[in-house]
Amino acid sequence: MPDLSFELPVSQPFRFQRCLEYMTRSPLECLYEVDGDKVIRLIRAEGAAESALLEISCPDDRALRVRFLQGAPQSDAELSRIQSYIRDWFDLERDLAPWQRLAEAGPVLGPLARSMYGLRLIGIPDLFEALCWAIAGQQVNLAFAYKLKRRLTEAYGEAADREGRTYRRFPDPAALAGADPGELQALQLTKTKAAAIREVAALMQRGELSRAALLALGDFDAAERELVRVRGIGPWTAHYVRMRCLRDPRAFPIGDAGLHNAVKAQLGLDRKPTPQELQSLFAGWAGWEAYATFYLWHSLYELKTAALGKDNR
Determine the Cα–Cα distance for residues 289 and 269; give it in Å rounded to an integer.
21
Is the CB of residue 293 less than 8 Å from the CB of residue 259?
Answer: yes
Please report, for residues 38, 39, 171, 247, the alpha-carbon distance to residue 86 in angstroms, rounded to integers and kept in the order given: 14, 12, 19, 14
Which one of 60, 91, 126, 256 is the catalytic residue?
Answer: 256
Q: Helices in 141-288 by DSSP H: which ranges?
A: 142-156, 173-177, 181-186, 191-205, 211-216, 220-228, 235-244, 257-267, 275-282
Among the listed residues 77, 116, 61, 90, the one whose alpha carbon sits nearest the alpha carbon of residue 247: 90
What does the buried/exposed string (b/e) look like for 205-235 if buried means 16 or more CB atoms within 10 Å of the residue's CB? beeebebeebbeeeebeebbeebeebebbee
- Reduced to 3 states, what is the DSSP secondary structure of residue 281? helix
| Known active-site residue 256 | yes
Could you list the active site residues?
256
